[in-house]
Amino acid sequence: MDAFIGGLSLIFDPYVLMVMVGAAAFGLVVGSIPGLTATMATALLIPVTFFMDPVPAIAAIVTTVATAIFAGDIPGALLRIPGTPASAAYCDEAFAMTRKGKAQLALGVGLTTSIIGGLIGAVVLMMATSALAEFAFKFSSYEYFWLACLGLSSAVVVSSGSTLKGFVSLLIGLFIATIGIDLISGHPRFTFGSTEMLSGVSFIPAMIGMFAISEVLRFVAAKNNSRPKVPVQSLSNLFKGVGGVLYKYKFNVFRGSSIGAVTGVLPGAGADIAAWVSYGVSKRTSKEKEKYGTGHVEGLVDAGSANNAGLAGAWVPALVFGIPGDSVTAIAIGVLYMKGMNPGPMIFQENPQLLNAVFIAFFVANLLLLPLGYLAIRLSSQLLKIPARMLMPAILIFCLVGSFAITNSVFGVVIMLAMGVLAYIMEENGFPIAPTILGIVLGSMLEEMFLSSMIKADGELLAFFSRPIAATLGVLTILVWLIPIIKSLKSKYWKPQTP
Amino acid sequence: MKFNDAVFGIFLIVFAIAEIIYTRTFPALHGQRFGASDFPVLIGVGLIICGCLLVVSGYKQRTASSPIEEAISKEPNLLTIAGWREKPRSVINFFVVIISILFYIFFVDALGFVITAFSILLVLFLRLQNGVVASFIAALFMTGVSKLLFGVWLLVPLPIGPLGF
């Protein structure tokens, strides 16, 4: 209880609240502009959070992402362009409602379900982390090794596109993590005599490069960057009819939030996958299946609550095991490491106030969404008119100065450029970049656990399966590795019979 | 700018072999069989396996049998720049962004943050088809905002040029 009160006092500090309001406004603007993702918003925010204490830094990240994910619904509903990938699942449905003249209801439902989903996700986060922390204390290096492998492998398997390319992306991330001085032996690796490379590839410039610079490059290389036409519809009475919809689909709100929170917990599966899964379940189990795709609000209720619930879920493995659930939590973990606060079960004993502050930040961020989200929808016609060609140079300069600020030298900018070009080429050729990020964040932990396990076992690989939890996690990991092989064999040798 | 999978595959195999050879020079931990080279070697082996599978997949792309796939496979060969060829302006913009970043890397210490950032912003705003006056005002505004946010508020030691800012 003391820790909870400690957490409350940390969040309800005027400075932290001010940071959260600023972060919410930033998240809403970035999220509502098509092409700028919630992860990009986080990447642009971290150079600023770098100079903050851990609590405002984490609160800013939580708030930005929660608001950006909701704001993605705005261009989704009005322009049929999802503001963030998490809104893609139900973008057509919301736009179909707009075409029927129901943009107000679509956005009102989107806002309220986002808030409810976010709050339910925060409750799940609180309960699941406490329950899992006890369990995590029993872990040795074998369990952590397998858990990291399982997290990384799941991230590859669930990532969009080819699984093979996902594995390549992961290996690239793991390789990047080995650059710099090896913390176990003290030997410099792949530094080629550069003193700046000794500390490795700096995390923040790498993130900025992979999420922001690659996006700027993609924008300027795109063929059509014309300004979209915003439909004229009244958005003044946003909550009209929302109560009735929520009452009618109360079970859907709860189901969407639960699916979202659970999907978010799975490593690699973030808010976007949560929305797709939830929308799919909603459509399959609905009594009015035929209405889906024609502007039916039911799917919106499920998926709108799922993506915001998924955000909190992704923090469960991040806080308990130090293994991020998605790209945003990977960035947050990187920020925590830089602040000298290593996530994992020890944080529950060493810094329970911080942990409670994270939980409370989720509640406050979602509550802030109500007035600020309302304001963002009312201002949406102006927000959506901001031309991206005015924004991209501004984003580039923030990237340059943000990367410079971390290392206080142009070396950060060099890393940013290299990683930005790498991410651009990878994405253009169908290689997902999320596994690379997870590889960079988890690489050193995975190597440390691997080496200490090998030394303990004296090179005996069977020792990795000698403890019950380790064996279970090991078998699960191997099963995840087998999924793509089985899928490929099935598609090769098993042809469905056509009548 | 799309490469055939085989190009990536071959690159990954060559890179991984070089990485493994270089890694073998790392010392083992004192009194242990293991050391700094083990993990990078495992990554290298993984890259070689993935590289071989990509070569196979790239080869299959090129020997595709359906007429549509054949038409595609004739066109892309090892590198496809179809999207770019149609709009040279995009290609120029792409390289302007890269050159702007390189300009920052090489000249910010000599010219100072304000001059460097303003020049980059002005060029980019103009290249992205914004009006001259709007570009000038936006470049000036963004330079001021970033200088204030990072240089003054967050106390980042942004380089100072010959004019004292």
The pLDDT > 70 percentage for chain A reads 95
A434 pLDDT band (50/70/90 cuts)? confident
Partner-chain residue, chosen from A175, A185, A190, that has the shortest CB–CB distance to B29: A185
Q: How confident is the model over A56-87, as pLDDT tens digits?
A: 998 999 899 888 888 888 888 887 777 777 78
Q: How confident is the model over A240-285, as pLDDT tens digits?
A: 888 888 888 888 999 999 999 888 887 767 788 888 888 888 888 8
Substitution target in A153, A169, A220 with the highest count of B β-carbons within 10 Å is A220
- Cross-chain Cβ contact B34/A455 below 8 Å: yes
Mean pLDDT of A148-168: 82
B75 pLDDT band (50/70/90 cuts)? very low
Could you state, in order of their start, the residue ranges of all structural domains in chain B?
2-83, 88-153
Evaluate if residue A382 carries a pLDDT over 80. Answer: no
The answer to whether B123 touches B96, Cβ cutoff 8 Å, is yes
pTM for the whole structure: 0.82
Closest approach of A166 to chain B, Cα-based (Å)? 10
What number of other Cβ atoms are within 10 A of residue A224's Cβ?
Answer: 6
Substitution target in A156, A400, A428 with the highest count of B β-carbons within 10 Å is A400
Q: How confident is the model over A190-199, as pLDDT tens digits?
A: 888 888 888 8
- Cross-chain Cβ contact A401/B8 below 8 Å: no
Partner-chain residue, chosen from B36, B47, B113, that has the shortest CB–CB distance to A189: B36
Helix (H) or strand (E) holding A181: strand A180-181
pLDDT at res. A480: 86
- Cross-chain Cβ contact B125/A184 below 8 Å: no
Which residues of chain B does A396 touch, with a Cβ-Cβ cutoff of 8 Å? 97, 100-101, 120, 124
Query: Among A1-15, A128-142, B65-79, where is mean pLDDT lowest?
Result: B65-79
Mean pLDDT of B83-95: 76
Substitution target in B50, B111, B113 with the highest count of A β-carbons within 10 Å is B50
Partner-chain residue, chosen from A221, A393, A413, that has the shortest CB–CB distance to B125: A393
- Cross-chain Cβ contact B94/A216 below 8 Å: no
Q: What is the largest CA-CA distance in chain B?
A: 69
Distance CA A284, CA A262 (A): 19
Distance CA A163, CA A148 (A): 18
pLDDT at res. A159: 67
Which residues of chain B does A217 touch, with a Cβ-Cβ cutoff of 8 Å? 94, 97-98
The answer to whether A295 touches A102, Cβ cutoff 8 Å, is yes
Residue type, A331: I
- Cross-chain Cβ contact B87/A223 below 8 Å: yes
Evaluate if residue A488 carries a pLDDT over 90. Answer: no
Q: What does the angle CA A400 – CA A401 – CA A403 come to, to the nearest 5 degrees?
A: 70
B16 pLDDT band (50/70/90 cuts)? very high
Evaluate if residue B68 carries a pLDDT over 60. Answer: no
**pLDDT top residue among B59 and A415:** A415
CA B38 and chain centroid, separation: 28
- Cross-chain Cβ contact A401/B40 below 8 Å: no
Partner-chain residue, chosen from B46, B127, B146, that has the shortest CB–CB distance to A401: B146
Helix (H) or strand (E) holding B117: helix B113-127
Closest approach of A286 to chain B, Cα-based (Å)? 39
**pLDDT top residue among A184 and A57:** A57
